Structure 1
Amino acid sequence: MPSANPIALGLRARLIGVVRTTFNDQARGEKPVQRSGHALFPRESVTWRVHGDVTTMMVGGVASLLLQMLHPAVLAGVWDHSAFRTDMLGRLRRTARFIAETTYADRDIAEAAIARVRAVHERVGGTLPDGTPYRADDPALLAWVHVTEMWSFLAAWQRYGRPITRPEEDIYYAETARIAEALGADPIPRSKGEADALIATMRPQLLVDERTREVARFVLNQRPPSMAVAPAQAAIFAAAVDLLPEWARAMHGFKRPPAVPLVRGSTLAIAKTFRWAFG
């Protein structure tokens, strides 16, 4: 039971307020996503469990974005069609809200969110610096975005959450495949082995150039919403870099955080604090 101590209650309220302000665009009147008994996934699903932790989703979300930017066509879509220089937090917020709505919200809300994303993808396209055309609704690009997100969320959960078994990891990929399918991704991994194999298959297509480095700088140098949360944000961003596969860190030119035990210990403490706050 949450503590009835006034100081503890005040701290809980402040922490919850920070999270809600960060993940909901109050200027647009967004409210926290309400959990529904008629969601795309049942309450007892592995997906509800993995996606229900604030800290692991933040760590995984930043890591997944860094992975996605290694694909030149995904990078081009961000570079050509988003205001990442002025609204990187907005991009992260929209991704988080999409995950929340498709995981927990009423089925009608989830399906509407998927339809909106598909409509955006249909309008996004262009040409890579080498002249190769790209489209955001390319099934292979959608597969890369999907697998990097699911891989990162699961890896963050396994490190900072309450670890699940290997069969449950397979169930997680099998469950979340329905979102990838609804978005038009192909191929779609339905187990951890298939996810690892898809990432390995797509690695030869990945590269880093000055645009990749610039987007990564914007991701990792975001101004915190308030100085009070600056240390937590720094720990979470360092944890995201630490979460990346070694080959991805090498491509980005990132060094493993110099004090890995401190980064992981701090992030785990942050995770436990938010779990306490949210009961």
Structure 2
Amino acid sequence: MTGILEPVRSRLIETLAGRSDEVPRWVLALEDGDDAGFFSAGSAPWVVHGGMPTLVAGVRALLLQALHPGALAGVRDFSRFREDPLGRLAGTIQWIHTVTFGSTGQALASSQMVRAMHKRVTGTFVDGHGVTRPYAANDPELAAWVHVAFADAFLTAHEHWGSPIPGGADEYVAQWATAGELMGVERPPRSAEELRAQIDGYTDAGELRGGPEVEEIVRFIRRPPLRRMLRPSYRVVFRAAVSTLEPRHRAMLGFRATPFDRAFPVHTATSAVLKGAGVLLGPQTQAELAARRRLARLAAA
């Protein structure tokens, strides 16, 4: 059975990590840090970011973030998502796992590197009220939207398909606020209620919008250039991500419910896909395993 599944496993690892022939060096480096990091073993961020529901969460975060025209302008103007979408995905995973599982110094360095790369991401965009405004990826306002969209996506996906979160949803949001602060967010939410209230605030104020540019990104996210063997599972993951969005956000993204959508057993199908991914990838990420080796070394010193 292992031999039959190995090609699928390799393609899945390649999609998530950028290559399948070896563990990335940045992952192995997580073993070498000199302290426990911002989050302890078994903490809410460890559980949420180490689980298979992250496959759904990543898609959901991209969809939700695209509704802010400032965030979308940065992606369209500067990102190489068309030429190297998997490279961009691998870079995002590197930051998430380094901040979650790395030492304090590694988390700080990774965040500083991302912010340095963002310094060039500036331009103008037309906001939800039709006003042309400047944007910069490191602006606290834009960083705040990216943070809340990310946190909401990962929390929601885990609540649907993950194991119990230590301390509950509020604990995850409160702890992951540290990551927001590392990226320049001035007042990251500290509870699930505050998280959802901030997202509602953007929506109610008309800061989010759909339109042709959003629909272009949605088409790409719906059909990324994946290996053929991964496409059926990805279609399930995509439907799962869409199903967890608020109705008004789905409408902005151009999704309309059909009889097939209502009949499709999305929760059951997604559970099966995520269970299969867990069999292929193992119960713990390579980043978590490296972090546990670091913690064991520190405990033995």
- The two structures have a TM-score, normalised by structure 2, of 0.82
Asked if the contact 2:51/2:162 (under 8 Å) is kept, the reply is yes
Equivalent in the alignment of 1:105: 102
Question: Aligned to 1:274, what secondary structure does the other structure show?
Answer: helix
CA distance in 1, matches of 2:262, 2:191: 33
* Letter of the 1:117 counterpart: V
Show the 5 A alignment for 1:116-135.
116-129=113-126, 130-135=131-136
Equivalent in the alignment of 1:234: 235
CA distance in 2, matches of 1:141, 1:96: 20
Equivalent in the alignment of 1:202: 202
Question: Aligned to 2:261, what secondary structure does the other structure show?
Answer: coil
* Letter of the 1:87 counterpart: D
- The two structures have a TM-score, normalised by structure 1, of 0.88
Given the alignment, which residue of 11, 19, 23 partners 1:18? Answer: 11
Show the 5 A alignment for 1:167-186.
167-186=167-186
Equivalent in the alignment of 1:33: 27
Q: Out of 200-209 and 267-276, give the one that drifted further.
A: 267-276
* Letter of the 1:177 counterpart: A
C-alpha distance 31-227 of structure 1, shift in aligned 2 (>3 A): farther
CA distance in 1, matches of 2:20, 2:169: 37
Unaligned runs of 5+ in 2: 284-301
Show the 5 A alignment for 1:68-217.
68-129=65-126, 130-164=131-165, 167-203=167-203, 204-217=206-219
CA distance in 2, matches of 1:28, 1:20: 9
Asked if the contact 1:24/1:31 (under 8 Å) is kept, the reply is no
* Letter of the 1:262 counterpart: P
Asked if the contact 1:47/1:172 (under 8 Å) is kept, the reply is yes
Asked if the contact 2:180/2:188 (under 8 Å) is kept, the reply is yes
**Number of residue pairs matched?**
269
Q: Out of 256-265 and 174-183, give the one that drifted further.
A: 256-265
CA distance in 2, matches of 1:271, 1:28: 23
Question: Aligned to 2:188, what secondary structure does the other structure show?
Answer: coil
Equivalent in the alignment of 1:3: none
Unaligned runs of 5+ in 1: 1-6
Question: Aligned to 2:123, what secondary structure does the other structure show?
Answer: strand
**1:204-234 deviation line (CA, Å, top 9, x unaligned):** 211112111111111111122x222211111
C-alpha distance 11-163 of structure 1, shift in aligned 2 (>3 A): farther
Q: Out of 170-179 and 79-88, give the one that drifted further.
A: 79-88
Question: Aligned to 1:207, what secondary structure does the other structure show?
Answer: coil
CA distance in 2, matches of 1:105, 1:149: 19
C-alpha distance 20-40 of structure 1, shift in aligned 2 (>3 A): farther
Asked if the contact 1:88/1:218 (under 8 Å) is kept, the reply is no
The alignment status of 1:48 with 2:46, answered yes or no, reads yes
* Letter of the 2:274 counterpart: A
Identity %: 35
CA distance in 2, matches of 1:249, 1:275: 28
CA distance in 2, matches of 1:66, 1:44: 29
CA distance in 1, matches of 2:157, 2:256: 19
CA distance in 2, matches of 1:228, 1:252: 27
Question: Aligned to 1:169, what secondary structure does the other structure show?
Answer: helix
Pairwise CA distance, 1:12 = 6.0
C-alpha distance 32-243 of structure 1, shift in aligned 2 (>3 A): farther
